[in-house]
Amino acid sequence: ERTSRSVRLTPAGRSFLPEARRILKLAESASQVARRIALGKTGSLKIGFTAAAAYGFLPDLIATCRTRLPEVDFSLKEMVSGDQFEALTTGQIDAGLLRPPIARPEFASRRVVAEPLLAAIPKRHPLASAETIAIKDFDDQPFVMYSPYEARYFHDLLVALFTRADVLPRYVQHLSQIHSILAMVRAGLGVAIVPEAAASLKIADVRLKPLKLRGATPVELFLVWRRDYENQLLPSLIEIATEIAGSHAGGD
């Protein structure tokens, strides 16, 4: 209501004023959120990971991300590597921690872990007292092997090692998860080979021994994402993962 001397709200205007202020505040807040999303400071990230990644690299990654990106929500999905490629393609995840090979041009990747292999020996086995284990020591030994389907990366890696050394273990089980393999070693079903990160599981009555190899055969883990990504948080995730990789053996 306007007079020659002043401008004042009508009764209807006064009743609408609180709502108008609320709407303006919401608009300002939405604008700030939009700016922070565009700067890669807030939002959500969906990350796939293999089970073994949870033994070492993944906890360090998420802990650092929560400190550096406190306004970001993380959704974690445990998947085998093959399923992660499909999930990246369909947008179910923004990035994945998975095993090689990564020979698809639509994806970019960065190696974040390259760790050695260890021999897993039951504590009452004759090899349990050895300082180091050679590949030839597995010849004709009961061996808990990786599944050629659910754990193809580790299966193929070990088959190649045994073939080069002309060694043929006796496969007694084919399992997909490292903790399950170590449980069977503890039960005395056989020996096994696991990545160094498995030491964090601290399975009782299982001795983990350095493995003597002719040349490095690291177990590799890669952070993978789509080249045409849309999530503006990805550069921050890649930067943090690269920093953490420096504290894990062999990260690039």
pLDDT band at 79 (very low <50, low <70, confident <90, very high): very high
Average pLDDT, the chain: 90
> Tokens 């599981």 correspond to what residue?
201
Task: Look at residue 20 in the predicted model and tell me its pLDDT.
Answer: 66
Domain identity same for 204 and 226: no
Task: List the domain range (segments joined by +) for residue 203.
Answer: 117-212
Domain identity same for 123 and 183: yes
Task: Look at residue 247 in the predicted model and tell me its pLDDT.
Answer: 77
pLDDT, tens digit (0-9, with 9 covering 90-100), for 190-209: 999 999 999 999 999 999 99
Domain identity same for 176 and 235: no
Which pTM does this prediction carry? 0.81
pLDDT band at 15 (very low <50, low <70, confident <90, very high): confident
Pairing, β 219-226 against β 107-115: antiparallel
Task: Look at residue 96 in the predicted model and tell me its pLDDT.
Answer: 99
Domain identity same for 122 and 202: yes
φ and ψ at residue 223, rounded to 5 degrees: -90, 125
Domain identity same for 60 and 180: no
CATH of the domain at 167: 3.40.190.10
Domain identity same for 44 and 105: yes
Considering only residues 246 and 116, tell me which one the structure prediction assigns the higher pLDDT: 116
Domain identity same for 46 and 170: no
Task: Look at residue 22 in the predicted model and tell me its pLDDT.
Answer: 72
| Rounded average pLDDT over 56-61 | 96
Domain identity same for 81 and 93: yes
Domain identity same for 140 and 61: no
| Rounded average pLDDT over 124-145 | 97
| Rounded average pLDDT over 159-184 | 97
Rounded Cα distance, 45 and 233, in Å: 7
Length of the chain counted residue by residue: 252
pLDDT band at 33 (very low <50, low <70, confident <90, very high): very low
Q: Is residue 89 part of a domain?
A: yes
Task: Look at residue 30 in the predicted model and tell me its pLDDT.
Answer: 44
Q: Is residue 18 part of a domain?
A: no
Task: Look at residue 246 in the predicted model and tell me its pLDDT.
Answer: 86
Task: Look at residue 34 in the predicted model and tell me its pLDDT.
Answer: 45
Domain count, the chain: 2
3-state class of 39 per DSSP?
A: coil
- For residue 40, give the amino acid letter: G
CB contact at 8 A, 224 and 109: yes
Q: Is residue 17 part of a domain?
A: no
